[in-house]
Amino acid sequence: MRAVVIGLLIAVLLLLSGAAYTVGETEQVVVTQFGRPIGAPVTQPGLHFKIPLIQRIHRFDKRFLEWDGDANQLPTRDKRFIWVDTYARWRITRPLLFYQRLRDERGAQTRLDDILDGETRNAIAKHQLVELIRSTNRKPEAGETQPTDEEAFQQIRFGREKIRQEILSAAQQRTSDLGLEILDLQFKRINYVEEVRKKVYDRMTAERQRIADRYRSEGEGEASRIQGKRERELKRIQSEAYREAQEITGKADAQATAIYAQAYDQSADSRRFYSFLKSMETLPQAIAGDTTVVLSTRGELYQHLEEAGH
């Protein structure tokens, strides 16, 4: 008897444990009975109850969920092939409808692959390449030369941001009856295929080379101007230095000449005095006492006597 009671208690406990379930803060639950939804979805966290063995619970996340697309090679309107890689964020807004249409998150991911990849392909095919790689129109910056490629500064009507919003809006309309909401979609990467990428790199290299050549030419011109200015300044300094040196040399020569002249004047007086003495010494020896001497006015002796008489 005791064993039967214990068995019944265990069975009751098992039934009770199967009847209770908890809902977390990040969860929402749909209860089904024989595969058919029963009642409204349970969105309030806490302890809840169901009929054990008959009813089942299906849990769905309340949080933002991730969708990561595969990189695809897509053609643009102007027949350029590019690699496009996108990602999106979504959430389950109507769990009952979500369960009825998609069953679980795996089914939702598969359906989102079809919708988001398809809308991305449609949008890329409707627009030219320049619309996808640029978001705004711009003018050449200061110092940037006008490129020869006509696409470089071609005016755009849409731009990458408007195309992204176009894809998001179309995808949201297609998922409105699936019990989920696409919150955002972004381009993870847009890249050229190898052939186009090589042409773009060549164009960028050529443009940078043109700018470098222009800067180099301007630098060489500025260097020539500075070199010419330096040479002119050097010649001016040398000319002024030569002029000052000549002035100093002239002053020194004038001063030396004055010193030489003064010294010469003093030497002339000494020579005349010496000559006068010698003449006086020679005169008594050469002339007797009763000799009459006729002197020329140009003679040195006459000049000495004349100077002595004065």
Work out the pLDDT band at 287, boundaries 50, 70, 90.
Answer: low
95 Cβ neighbours under 8 A, 6+ residues apart: 28, 29, 30, 41, 43, 60, 179
Q: Which amino acid is at 9?
A: L
Q: Is the pLDDT of residue 64 over 80?
A: yes
pLDDT in tens, 141-199: 655 555 544 555 578 888 999 999 999 999 999 999 999 999 999 999 998 887 777 77
Task: State residue 87's pLDDT score.
Answer: 96
Give pLDDT, residue 286.
Answer: 65
Q: Which residues contact 192 (CB under 8 A, 6 or more apart)?
A: 80, 82, 83, 200
Q: What is the mean pLDDT of residues 69-80?
A: 91
Which is nearest to 179 in space by CA: 82, 288, 255, 105?
105
Domain spanning 65-192, CATH class? alpha beta
Residue 148 has a pLDDT of 47
Residue tagged 């030489």 (tokens): 260
Phi and psi angles of residue 295, each rounded to the nearest 5 degrees, phi first = -110, 140
Over residues 30-55, the pLDDT tens digits come to 999 998 999 999 999 999 999 888 89
Q: Is the sign of the CA dihedral 100, 105, 107, 109 positive or negative? A: positive
Domain residue limits, the chain:
18-58, 65-192
> pLDDT above 70 covers what percent of the chain?
75
Per-residue pLDDT band for 255 (boundaries 50, 70, 90) equals confident
Q: Using CA atoms, how far apart are residues 257 and 260, in angstroms rounded to an integer?
A: 5
The answer to whether residue 212 scores a pLDDT higher than 60 is yes
For the segment 107-126, what is each residue's pLDDT rounded down to a tens digit?
A: 999 999 999 999 999 999 99
What number is the average pLDDT over the span 257-273? Answer: 65
Between 13-17, 199-203, 250-254, the lowest mean confidence (pLDDT) is in 13-17
Residue closest to 179 by CA, chosen among 87, 104, 88: 104
DSSP labels, the chain: -HHHHHHHHHHHHHHHHHHEEEE-TTEEEEEEETTEE-SS-B-S-EEEE--TTTEEEEEEE-S-EEEEPPPEEEE-TTS-EEEEEEEEEEEES-HHHHHHHH-SHHHHHHHHHHHHHHHHHHHHHHS-HHHHH-SS---PPTTPPPPS-TTTT---SS-HHHHHHHHHHHHHHHTTTTTEEEEEEEEEEEEE-HHHHHHHHHHHHHHHHHHHHHHHHHHHHHHHHHHHHHHHHHHHHHHHHHHHHHHHHHHHHHHHHHHHHHHHHHHHHHHHHHHHHHHHHHHHHHS-TT------TTSHHHHHHHHHH-
Dihedral in degrees, nearest 10, Cα atoms 107, 112, 114, 117: -150
